[in-house]
Amino acid sequence: MKSPIRIAVTGATGQICYNLLYRIAAGEMLGKDQPVILQLHDITEAQPLFDGIVMELYDCAFPLLSGIITTDNPEVAFNNADIVLLVGARPRGENMERKDLLAANSPIFIQNGRALNTAAKRNVKVLVVGNPANTNAYITIKNAPDLDPSNFSAMLRLDHNRALSQVALKLHVPVSDIKRMIVWGNHSNTQFPDLSHATVGNNSVSSLITDPAWIENYFIPVVQKRGTAIIEARRGKSSAASAANAIINHMQDWIFGTREGDWVSMGVPSNGSYDIPRGVIYSFPVTCQNGQYKIVEGLEISPSDREKMQKSYQELVTEQEAIKHLLA
């Protein structure tokens, strides 16, 4: 039997985690032969909610679940952690602008970064999910100076999966037949879902779409605004099952590698590729091997697509400006 992997999760009493923890404990993220220890964090007020969550975890009698810790102290949660999923964040309240959300969440991710720096394994893999995910990842990295920035990523996988599904529905092909989809940029409605490099078998997706206006008028806005559409359809609740699923997909690919001839979208520190300056956490197409991600280089980008990519970059710069004083 392998030794257990320690997985820390914040926001663990929230709705994404109710769709996530049981799947992790069942072996869906790390495999059916990998024992796990769940190190669950939430704020003090939420601690009573752990009672039911832990009772249900035990009632599933998961053979792979080797231990459960619950705490309101991030250092305890991240202690010796191999994987950290930063899901916990303040939800966007009514009349709250994006900059207010940024200000409300910055202290959470400053604290997360410091606790990771102190307590987590040096080769920990950290996925930032809580919104605004890219800038929260940036804040976390800045506060964990002893950890390599390549240990961190922000989640754009839900957007990537949404883009795959829209194309699969349009072309009546299985999702698994579509390769090389990209979502560039910020996890917000400035993101750029880009199917111009995507393929189905030996064909490009673009060549199979007989009404090209569909891409600009339907595909791009539907993927960009899907989060809002889900909130409306779920009477105020945001994506939870699909977000949990995306976390599992993201971590699986990062740890076990992307499939041959394909890539995935991940929010990672820019290395300057595609005219996106270093210093932002930006979603790029990446391949993963041996637990490391690598930005796919050298794709041809049209001038109008470059403009879309820059628009999302500019939004990230504005977000960084808005929290700069908190990092000083």
Residues of each annotated binding site for substrate: 92, 98, 131, 162
Report the nearest approach of ligand NAI to the CB of residue 200 (Å). 25
**Residue among 236, 218, 219, 215 at smallest CA distance from 227:** 236
Give me the residue whose beta carbon is nearest to ligand NAI: 14
15 lies in the site for ligand NAI, by CB under 6 A: yes
Residue 41 annotated to the active site: no
| Cis previous bond, 149, omega within 30 | no
Among 22, 23, 28, 46, binds ligand NAI (CB under 6 A): 46
Rounded to 10°, the helix 98-119/133-142 angle is: 40
Query: Residue 227 and residue 306: Cα distance in Å, rounded?
Result: 24
285 lies in the site for ligand NAI, by CB under 6 A: no
Among 102, 115, 158, 220, binds ligand NAI (CB under 6 A): 158
Residue 271 three-state SS: coil
Distances (CA, A) of 198 to 38, 171, 258, 312: 37, 12, 15, 21
Among 4, 27, 91, 257, binds ligand NAI (CB under 6 A): 91
Q: Is 1 exposed, middle or buried (0-12, 13-18, 19+ CB in 10 A)?
A: exposed
Residue (158 or 316) nearer to ligand NAI, CB: 158
CB atoms within 10 A of CB 75: 16
90 lies in the site for ligand NAI, by CB under 6 A: yes
Among 9, 35, 39, 42, binds ligand NAI (CB under 6 A): 42
Query: Residue 114 and residue 141: Cα distance in Å, rounded?
Result: 9
Distances (CA, A) of 34 to 6, 7, 174, 253, 290: 11, 12, 29, 16, 17
89 lies in the site for ligand NAI, by CB under 6 A: yes
24 lies in the site for ligand NAI, by CB under 6 A: no
Among 16, 30, 57, 264, binds ligand NAI (CB under 6 A): 16
Question: CB under 6 A: which stretch of 10-18, 254-262, 277-285, 319-327 binds ligand NAI?
Answer: 10-18
Residue (199 or 319) nearer to ligand NAI, CB: 319
187 lies in the site for ligand NAI, by CB under 6 A: yes
Q: Which residues contact 12 (CB under 8 A, 6 or more apart)?
A: 21, 40, 41, 42, 50, 53, 70, 87, 88
Residue (161 or 287) nearer to ligand NAI, CB: 161
Question: CB under 6 A: which stretch of 129-137, 174-182, 273-281, 308-316 binds ligand NAI?
Answer: 129-137
Question: CB under 6 A: which stretch of 12-20, 53-61, 202-210, 291-299 binds ligand NAI?
Answer: 12-20
269 residue type, one letter: P
CA 265 to chain CA centroid, Å, is: 9
The catalytically annotated residue of 160, 187, 197, 250 is 187
Catalytic residue set: 187
